[in-house]
Amino acid sequence: MTFLRLIASAAVLATFVSTAAAETIRIGEINSYTRLPAFTDPYKKGWQLALEEINAAGGVKGKKLEVISRDDAGKPGNAVKIAEEMISRDKVAMLAGTFFSHIGLAVSDFAKQKKVLFLASEPLTDALVWTKGNEYTFRLRPSTYMQAAMLAAEAAKTDAVKWVTVAPNYAYGKDAVAAFQQVLKKLKPEVEFVDAQWPALFKIDAGVTVRALEAAKPDGIYNVTFGSDLGAFVREGSVRGLFDNRVVTSLLTGEPEYLEPLKGEAPKGWIVTGYPWYAIDTPAHNAFRTAYEARWGESLKMGSMVGYNMMLSIAAALAKSPSLETDDLIKAMKGLKIETPMGPVVYRDADHQATMGAWVGLTDVVDNQGKMVGWRYVDGNEVLPPPAEAKAMRPAN
């Protein structure tokens, strides 16, 4: 009798899940919420804001969007297991999210195996859309190559010839260094790289790293550390005079998630990519800023923009697609154009990379707070390789 009751209960549950799924369009979202809350918390608030706006306007094709969100705790194995559960149990139409590059690659491989669409919101490794790209994976944020190329273009205008690099020892860091070296040497062939430091992610020994870089006597420094590693590197380097009279280029350092915590200790004059949300004055961005601050009672972060644009992309793809079948969703993503608070963004057919750009400028301290000054927005199209070249870097499907 108990066994029969269990079967009956399971049948009722299955019917409930099926009915719920039919009433909404489910999206499976995975991210490292507890591993890097400085970015993922505002990122979640960004996509939640967009989700609320989309559903308040009637959803997509008369159906509300429902996001099933889970934390992978910064572990690829967790992310893949969660993705499997979302597909088999929660019946999501597609997967989205992830932050760390190695996790994004793991979910991308899973998506390829299971033939499900995956929109990678944040992972920056170039492999995601090029050497390990696949038909089922698209990426929103500007890649390591794109942002490194922006910095290399500025570095080439300086007198620095001898360069050193410091980057976390995993896919994102390695790609970021390789891209910067490739583009800078192409723009300025006389450049040489005389030392490279590879601290473990979030475990930098800043004293050892700074001493090694100083010993190389460089003209320029290319930094890829972020989060707590960046704070430790900035403080130790400042104390030891590492940055004095040297050109410093730094990936992501202008993003408020990483610059604002430094407060008055923020470096001055570094060439960075980032997000000067406080100084952007366009109708679309002003509307986004007003809505975000009203909803959450806090200022924007880069994560806020990424999360918001991710949800806009999902809604636009669903609206364009004739069905929830993966093949139709993939066709909808190719060439998809969305209007965002930072301007139009297009998902390229050739490599599934979005043309979302970044702001490039200099760091400064204003009223005891790190800021970006002298910035300009660089559209992703300015730094992406031509479609044919990018497509050639992808494996044959």
pLDDT digits (tens, 9 = 90+) for 294-337: 999 999 999 999 999 999 999 999 999 999 999 999 999 999 99
* Lookup result for tokens 């005389």: 194
3-state secondary structure of 360: strand
Is residue 256 within 8 Å of 365, Cβ to Cβ?
Answer: no
User: What gap in Å lies between CA 86 and CA 88, rounded to an integer?
Assistant: 6
Q: Are strands 162-166 and 192-197 parallel, antiparallel or unpaired?
A: parallel
Is residue 210 within 8 Å of 236, Cβ to Cβ?
Answer: yes
The DSSP H or E segment spanning 192 is strand 192-197
DSSP secondary structure code for residue 395 in this structure: P
- Measured N-to-C along each axis, helices 76-88 and 101-114 cross at an angle, to the nearest 10 degrees, of 30
Averaged pLDDT in 10-residue chunks for the chain of 397 residues: 35 38 89 94 98 98 97 97 98 97 97 98 95 98 96 98 96 93 98 98 96 98 96 97 98 96 97 98 98 98 98 98 98 98 97 98 96 98 96 88
User: What gap in Å lies between CA 395 and CA 129, rounded to an integer?
Assistant: 10
Query: What pLDDT was estimated at residue 9?
Result: 39
Q: Where in the chain is the domain with CATH 3.40.50.2300?
A: 2-142+281-356, 145-280+358-382
Query: What pLDDT was estimated at residue 5?
Result: 40
Within 8 A by CB and 6+ apart from 62, the residues are none
> In the chain, how long is the greatest CA-to-CA distance?
83
Name all contacts of 80-84 with Cβ < 8 Å and 24+ positions apart. Answer: 80/106, 80/107, 80/110, 82/28, 82/30, 83/28, 83/30, 83/107, 83/110, 83/111, 83/114, 84/110, 84/114
Query: What pLDDT was estimated at residue 244?
Result: 97
From the number of C-beta atoms within 10 Å of its C-beta (0-12, 13-18, 19+), residue 36 rates as buried
pLDDT, tens digit (0-9, with 9 covering 90-100), for 51-101: 999 999 999 999 999 999 999 999 999 999 999 999 999 999 999 999 999
Report the CATH number of the 2-142+281-356 domain: 3.40.50.2300
DSSP secondary structure code for residue 371 in this structure: E
Report the CATH number of the 145-280+358-382 domain: 3.40.50.2300
Query: What pLDDT was estimated at residue 224?
Result: 97
Query: What pLDDT was estimated at residue 7?
Result: 30
Within 8 A by CB and 6+ apart from 197, the residues are 164, 165, 166, 167, 209, 212, 213
Query: What pLDDT was estimated at residue 396?
Result: 82
Dihedral sign, Cα of residue 374, residue 355, residue 61, residue 89: negative
Within 8 A by CB and 6+ apart from 147, the residues are 124, 176, 251, 252, 273, 358
Query: What pLDDT was estimated at residue 171?
Result: 86
Q: Are strands 64-71 and 24-31 parallel, antiparallel or unpaired?
A: parallel
